Structure 1
């Protein structure tokens, strides 16, 4: 595996793990606090992890050598993965808008410190992932990683 794909896959694995951890903790806190916004954000993290998994698949295909079926190689797989990530991001945004408008003012939110701690951890984690994705996408010239930040 060359260095470009290696860096892209490592960042994608890191992003997948962080987003799954955020999904589990936000879902738990969202249920405890009865907050539909935190639950919706948890599922946003789950779909973000799916986006990182798609980027791993794109990098894996892009590193394949050309053959008689694909004489120019599989490099376009990374662009296709970036396009799918963009579609997922748009659909998640639309679904979150629909979910929050339907459930607006429909429940009483119970505030506790665990919700605040999880949300602060989430902001810091997403900021780190975003900066790292931006730096790595520029370094390796990856449209897929650019679609993730």
Structure 2
């Protein structure tokens, strides 16, 4: 396991331990106070705890070496388990929160003293805050290493487990604020409507998080290309090698957070001997792997230069999608 993966594993473990302790505290507070918002938050934390188990499984299974049945390795297992984590958020967290909210609206119940609930929410906010800050710190460090902004890195290239922790902890902090607001409004107005409405708001929040995470991981599972900036860098590196007139077509696919497959159709110089062309291919591979270590698989399709192929060569200034 690489240093970055070890950091992700530690981040997930910290988040999982925090969520487990918080889930128990929220459940006790919810049962004692009768607050549907607290019970919804307890379900939220239980769902997050199960998610951490999924994410740790993803980190472990993705480390399996390539074999004849999976020649490109198991890197995409991370996206599969992260997708399951998103489904878990939707089913357990959002489902139970919506159930509690609707039940509280249809059948209002008396609530007890809010003191315990506020105390648990305060401690939970501190614990979740520590986990969230650690995740943001790692995300920022990874973004700097990838020469990208934090937001762009989170949207595209971030480790799936880290991305899930950032989204989950951010949603947890917002959910805690919503729960506190609902309980406070109930106390001020003397009704149980706000507590129930907050449960529904927490359900909507979890649906949004689940959809966002699910959509991102599904994109990687079906074969997402690397960012245009990296594609342009690969095209430029290949085109600068002696014996290569240019790149006609470039195909890329991310196999994992640190694994990329590249296939390129290149136009070759006509007057090069087979030995010289082989040397050029070796130089292409050396340069690409040196500049982009995450490129684990590089396939070149050499095409002798001719007027037709030359007209199809990618221009250095042409944007890649």
TM norm structure 1? 0.88
Q: Which residue of 1 aligns with 2:102?
A: 101
Q: CA RMSD in A?
A: 1.9
Q: Please give the secondary structure, in 2, of the residue aligned with 1:103.
A: helix
Q: Which residue matches 1:118?
A: 120
Normalised to the residue count of structure 2, the TM-score between the two structures is 0.43
Q: Does 1:144 align with 2:144?
A: no
**Where do 4+ consecutive residues of structure 1 move more than 6 Å?**
none
Rounded Cα–Cα distance in structure 1 between residues aligned with 2:140 and 2:68:
32
Gaps of at least 5 residues in structure 2 are: 143-157, 168-321
Equivalent residues, number = 149
How far apart, in 2, do the equivalents of 1:135 and 1:77 lie? 25
More helix by share: 1
The structure number with the bigger radius of gyration is 2
Evaluate the alpha carbon distance shift between residue 134 and residue 80 of structure 1 in structure 2; reply closer, same or farther with a 3 A threshold.
Answer: farther
In structure 2, the CA distance between the partners of 1:125 and 1:53, relative to structure 1 (3 Å rule), is same
Q: Cα–Cα, structure 1 residues 123 and 87, in superposed 2: closer, same or farther, change >3 Å? A: same
- Matched-pair contact (CA < 8 Å) for 2:12–2:52: yes
Residue correspondence of structure 1 range 25-40 to structure 2 within 5 A: 25-40=25-40
| Mapping 1:18-57, distance limit 5 Å | 18-57=18-57
Aligned-partner Cα distance in 1 for 2:63–2:35: 43
Check conservation: 1:19, 1:49, Cα contact below 8 A.
yes
Question: Unmatched 5+ residue regions in structure 1?
Answer: none
Greater RCO, CA 8 A, separation 6+: 1
Structure-2 change in CA distance of 1:137 and 1:88 (3 Å)? farther
Shift of 1:17: 0.9
- Give the distance between the partners of 1:81 and 1:134, measured in 2 at CA: 21
